[in-house]
Amino acid sequence: MLLTFLNMLATIISVISLLIVTYGVFVGIIAFMRNEIKRFNGTYTINNIRQLRADFGSYLLLGLEFLIASDILKTVVDPTLDELAILGGVVVVRTVLSVFLNKEIKELAENESLKL
């Protein structure tokens, strides 16, 4: 019964991860469209696209965090080499995304502080 509960919980967390990433994609598409409209209006700046990338990356990272939690539960329930490989791959992707996103956010903060 505990295994069934953990499998169901892992599935629910995976769906939450999917919803977070999907929501981030929709927010990103809307921000991208607004950015392109600004390009036609002449109010476009490179910081707009950087902010879009940082925001979208944040949604991706949050979705990956939930996916890691789900994969950990699946690995506890069925500890196979395939599950461990998937978990390792997701952790590596999340780490790489986090490093580049943090770099991007730091550059944005520096650019904003230079404007003041």
Residue 95, pLDDT > 70, answer: yes
21-35 in b/e form (b: 16+ CB < 10 A) is beebeeebeebeeeb
Report the alpha-carbon distance of residue 116 to residue 109 in Å, rounded. Answer: 11
pLDDT tens, residue by residue, 5-19: 988 999 999 999 999
Per the structure, the complete domain to which residue 78 belongs is given by 1-114
pLDDT tens, residue by residue, 48-92: 888 888 888 889 888 888 988 888 888 888 788 887 888 888 888
Residue 116, pLDDT > 70, answer: no
State the total domains in the chain.
1
pTM of the predicted protein model: 0.78
Q: Residue 26's pLDDT band (boundaries 50, 70, 90)?
A: very high
- Contact predicate 32/95, CB 8 Å: no
